[in-house]
């Protein structure tokens, strides 16, 4: 029997790796309408890493065409957060409001070439028509009323883009692959508002063209804008940059991250005692991966980052993993380097100032048990305060009359101690408690802990003693003795 199967020659899809000869230039373009949030920070990070990986440059641009919502305060907040995270930029920050002439020039080009036209429709009118269209089940897009009315400039007129009615626009997304849009779905977007201010979609295109941006890496909430922007590049006769749309970060309810999901501000994490590298490491792993590796130095990230290993699906923000990373970086940090970072937290707790080297030694004993700098500062109280206060329950439970004798002997032995380092201290306890008194170390450990720290939770006793030093230790032991003796009398 005849086989009628048509043997169409399959297109050998040549997996062409496009080597970019031109320099890589990326940008981060936040709008200054609030602090830098987690999502924005990750977008910035991907842009920064991509630029650094390709030895290109990274530009910061402030998109402040929304004059009502933009504030200088927000600009500062964003810049501060970028600096804190260690993302430096090679040019900028540029401000769109200082570039209006540029937008105007490009707008005139579009007007002259017939790619743009004046529109006289009032917002109210537009709104009514949109609603009517929806009610009738039609698309709520601009109906093109003024498209061919040949208006000239006028005080209340906007300028619209003359969007082609037919054809398909392809976004060749670096992350998501090709995405096809029927131009018929797009409408004649406003390029310049009636107050003369350019709209976002127009300003970005002009900016990205004039700044020679080679790779536009942004949140995938922009994919639907991209075909319009591509059409604008075409109308302007400009070459296209590459686009890469990074999936969103979602809250636990799988809706786009927002304030109601808790701490979303980058700087809030600094205040909560997080290290910048924790946030960087967490953010980069949200959507990007390199095999099974979880921990990356900045240098490794620059080496290994690529858009090909950015995932396509949205990810849910998980603060617990960030906390784990922070605990990790606190553990790994050099205690001396932690001191200056810890300082503001120490101060806000009202501790008296201490020698940085002393603080560093205290820090060393707490690195394993602190997940944040706030936590660390809080558990440092017995190192920092000259006078400790007993936790009531702890004192009652452990500072009992039966401890008077062991404490007295310990005080005597400690007074004579020439070395006050951990091994020496351990030997003293071994001799006095275990050998002479025939007691278990565990019997006196908690009482001594309460005497020295006021509570039942602390780093190892010998570590604590070595850091506090002979004088303070003896002082606190004697104070505990006095307390026990007084309790015995009552």
Residue numbers 134-153 binding RNA by CB under 7 A: 137, 139-142
Looking at the DSSP assignment, which residues form a beta bridge with residue 300? none
* Span of 19-27, 77-85, 308-316, 350-358 interacting with RNA by CB under 7 A: 308-316
Q: Which is nearer to RNA, 61 or 215 (CB)?
A: 61
Closer residue to RNA (CB): 210 or 315: 315
Q: Using CB under 7 A, count the residues that bind RNA.
A: 84
- Which residues, other chains included, contact 79 with Cβ-Cβ below 8 Å and sequence gap of 6+? 60, 93
Residue 461 C-beta: closest distance to RNA, Å: 4
* Cβ–Cβ under 8 Å, residues 199 and 228: no
Instruction: Report if residue 66 touches RNA, rule: CB under 7 A.
Output: yes
- Whether 216 contacts 241, CB under 8 Å: yes
Which helix or strand (DSSP H or E) is residue 450 part of?
helix 441-453
Does the footprint of RNA cover residue 129 (CB under 7 A)? no
Q: Which residues of 177-188 are buried (b: 16+ CB within 10 A; e: fewer)?
A: eebebebeebbb
Residues 6+ apart with CB under 8 A from 193: 158, 199
| From 172, 183, 315, 333, residue interacting with RNA (rule: CB under 7 A) | 315
Binding segment for RNA among 102-110, 221-229, 332-340, 410-418 (CB under 7 A)?
Answer: 221-229
Among the listed residues 76, 131, 139, 259, the single catalytic one is: 259
Among 10, 177, 237, 350, binds RNA (CB under 7 A): 177
- Omega cis (within 30) before 93: yes
- Please tell me whether residue 16 adopts helix, strand or coil conformation: coil
Q: What residues numbered 255-284 form the site for RNA, per CB under 7 A?
A: 255-256
Q: Is 397 in the site for RNA (CB under 7 A)?
A: no
Q: Is 164 in the site for RNA (CB under 7 A)?
A: no
Q: Which residues make Cβ contacts (< 8 Å) with residue 176, sequence separation at least 6?
A: 220, 223, 245, 312
Q: According to the binding rule CB under 7 A, does residue 449 interact with RNA?
A: yes
Contact segment (CB under 7 A) with RNA among 52-60, 83-91, 309-317, 343-351 equals 309-317
Q: Is residue 259 flagged as an active site residue?
A: yes
Q: In whole angstroms, what is the distance from residue 457 CA to residue 81 CA?
A: 35
Any contact of residue 244 with RNA (CB under 7 A)?
Answer: no
Taking the complex as a whole, how short is the minimal distance between the CB of residue 101 and RNA, in angstroms?
17
Nearer to RNA, 79 or 126 (CB): 126
Sole window of 186-194, 264-272, 341-349, 477-485 interacting with RNA (rule: CB under 7 A): 186-194
Q: Where in 34-63 is the site for RNA (CB under 7 A)?
A: 63
Which one among 237, 442, 471, 489 touches RNA, defined by CB under 7 A? 442
**Cα 346–chain centre separation:** 24
Task: Rule CB under 7 A: say whether 423 interacts with RNA.
Answer: no
Check if the beta carbon of residue 211 is closer than 8 Å to that of residue 96. no
3-state secondary structure (DSSP) of residue 31: coil
Least separation in angstroms between CB 490 and RNA: 27
Instruction: Tell me the closest approach of the beta carbon of residue 210 to RNA, in angstroms.
Output: 16
**Which residue in the set 24, 462, 468, 477 belongs to the binding site for RNA (CB under 7 A)?**
462
Q: How far apart are CA 155 and CA 195, in angstroms?
A: 8
CB 426 within 8 A of CB 445: no
Q: Is 316 in the site for RNA (CB under 7 A)?
A: yes
The verdict on 369 binding RNA (CB under 7 A) reads yes
Residues 261, 278: Cα–Cα separation, whole Å: 20
Q: Does 447 bind RNA (CB under 7 A)?
A: no
Measured from the CB atom, is 115 or 192 closer to RNA? 192
56 vs 191 by CB, closer to RNA: 191
What is the per-residue DSSP string for 239-307? ---EEEEEPPEE-TTSSBP-GGGS--BHHHHHHTT--HHHHHHHHHHTTB--TT-----HHHHHHH--G
Q: Which is nearer to RNA, 169 or 214 (CB)?
A: 169
Interface residue with RNA among 76, 86, 98, 123 (CB under 7 A) is 123
Hey, which residues are catalytic here?
A: 259
């Amino acid at each position: 029997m005849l086989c009628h199967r048509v043997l169409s020659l399959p297109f050998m899809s040549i997996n062409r790796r496009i080597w970019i000869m031109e320099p890589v230039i990326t940008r981060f373009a936040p709008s200054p309408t609030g602090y830098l949030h987690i999502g924005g920070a990750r977008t910035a990070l991907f842009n920064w890493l991509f630029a650094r990986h390709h030895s290109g440059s990274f530009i910061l641009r402030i998109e402040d065409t929304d004059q009502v919502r933009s504030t200088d305060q927000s600009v500062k907040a964003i810049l501060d957060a970028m600096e804190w995270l260690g993302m430096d930029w090679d040019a900028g920050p540029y401000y769109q409001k200082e570039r209006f002439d540029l937008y105007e020039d490009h707008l005139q080009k579009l007007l002259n070439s017939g790619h743009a036209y004046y529109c006289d429709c009032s917002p109210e009118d537009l709104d009514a028509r949109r609603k009517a269209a929806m009610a009738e089940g039609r698309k709520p897009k601009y109906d093109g009323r003024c498209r061919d009315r040949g208006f000239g400039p006028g005080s209340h007129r906007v300028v619209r883009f003359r969007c082609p009615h037919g054809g398909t626009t392809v976004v060749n997304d670096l992350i998501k692959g090709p995405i096809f849009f029927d131009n018929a779905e797009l409408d004649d977007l406003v390029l310049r508002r009636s107050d003369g201010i350019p709209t976002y979609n127009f300003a970005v295109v002009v900016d990205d063209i004039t700044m020679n941006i080679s790779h536009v890496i942004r949140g995938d909430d922009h994919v639907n804008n991209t075909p319009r922007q591509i059409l604008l590049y075409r109308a302007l006769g400009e070459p296209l940059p590459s686009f890469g749309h990074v999936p969103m970060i979602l809250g636990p309810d799988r809706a786009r991250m927002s304030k109601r999901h808790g701490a979303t501000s980058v700087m809030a994490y600094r205040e909560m005692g997080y290290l910048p590298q924790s946030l960087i490491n967490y953010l980069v792993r949200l959507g990007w991966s390199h095999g099974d590796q979880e921990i990356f130095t900045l240098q490794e990230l620059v080496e290994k980052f690529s858009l090909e290993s950015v995932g396509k699906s949205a990810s849910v923000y998980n603060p617990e993993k960030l906390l784990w990373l922070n605990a990790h970086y606190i553990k790994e940090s050099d205690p001396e380097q932690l001191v200056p970072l810890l300082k503001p937290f120490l101060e806000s707790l009202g501790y008296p100032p201490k020698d940085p080297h002393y603080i560093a030694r205290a820090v060393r004993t707490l690195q394993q048990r602190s997940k944040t700098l706030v936590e660390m500062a809080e558990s440092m109280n017995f190192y920092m305060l000259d006078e400790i206060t007993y936790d009531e329950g702890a004192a009652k439970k452990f500072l009992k009359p039966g401890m008077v004798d062991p404490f007295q002997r310990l005080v005597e032995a400690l007074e004579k101690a020439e070395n006050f380092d951990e091994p020496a201290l351990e030997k003293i306890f071994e001799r006095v408690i275990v050998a002479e008194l025939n007691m278990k170390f565990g019997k006196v450990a908690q009482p001594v802990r309460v005497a020295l720290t006021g509570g039942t939770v602390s780093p190892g006793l010998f570590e604590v003693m070595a850091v506090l030093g002979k004088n303070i230790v003896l002082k606190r032991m004697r104070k505990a003795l006095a307390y026990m003796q007084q309790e015995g009398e009552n």
